[in-house]
């Protein structure tokens, strides 16, 4: 009732401390930017949306995500196969072997980067959103409910005092 009356402008609302309001605004801003950074980093690390959905499902089911071959590793594999077809002794075959080995190392470095970024960057962001932010939201709801209870009690007290004053004036 108190909440509805406040929204309709029929009841007074106890204002929170300006410093606390500032902290709440900063917390909201932190949450919003953390969500955006998390999503965009996931897109950067895995541009394929269907692969991201698959990884998300594995994560929610607490299963290990199967290891994927990176594009660099796949290219290295094709180059090695082509080099074997052309002959490793031919100039083109030697070049394909060299470039293929470099691509394989690049692919392995990319895989390590993705793994490292996931553990060292994305995990803390997820922990904030799933842990700290939930706690902040819960405490915020509790504070809001307590404030509404306080304002409802203030309104009842004000009505009781007005009725008492009216009864004292009327003989």
How is 125-162 classified by DSSP, letter by letter?
HHHIIIIIHHHHHHHHHHHHHHHHHHHHHHHHHHHHHH
Nearest to 96 by CA among 82, 109, 115: 82
113-163 per-position pLDDT tens digit: 998 998 999 999 999 999 999 999 999 999 989 988 888 888 888 889 888
23-82 per-position pLDDT tens digit: 999 999 999 999 999 999 999 998 888 888 888 888 888 888 777 888 899 999 999 999
Domains and CATH numbers, the chain: 1-148 (1.20.1270.60)
150-163 per-position pLDDT tens digit: 888 888 888 898 88
Q: How far is CA 127 from CA 12, 25, 151, 154, 158, in A?
A: 38, 20, 35, 40, 45
**pLDDT (0 to 100) of residue 163:** 87
Nearest to 77 by CA among 49, 58, 50, 96: 96
């Amino acid at each position: 009732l108190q909440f509805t009356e406040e929204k309709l402008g029929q009841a007074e609302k106890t204002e929170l401390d300006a410093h606390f309001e500032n902290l709440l605004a900063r917390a909201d801003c932190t949450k919003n930017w953390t969500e955006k950074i998390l999503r965009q980093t996931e897109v950067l690390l895995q541009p394929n949306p269907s692969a991201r959905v698959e990884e998300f499902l594995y994560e929610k089911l607490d299963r290990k995500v199967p290891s994927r071959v990176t594009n660099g590793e796949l290219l290295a594999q094709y180059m090695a196969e082509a080099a074997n077809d052309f002959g490793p002794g031919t100039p083109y075959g030697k070049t394909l072997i060299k470039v293929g080995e470099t691509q394989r190392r690049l692919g392995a470095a990319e895989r390590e980067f993705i793994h490292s970024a996931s553990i060292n960057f994305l995990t803390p962001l997820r922990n904030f959103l799933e842990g700290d932010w939930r706690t902040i939201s819960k405490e915020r709801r509790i504070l809001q409910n307590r404030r509404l209870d306080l304002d409802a009690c203030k309104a009842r007290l004000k009505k009781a005092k007005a009725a008492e004053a009216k009864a004292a004036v009327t003989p």
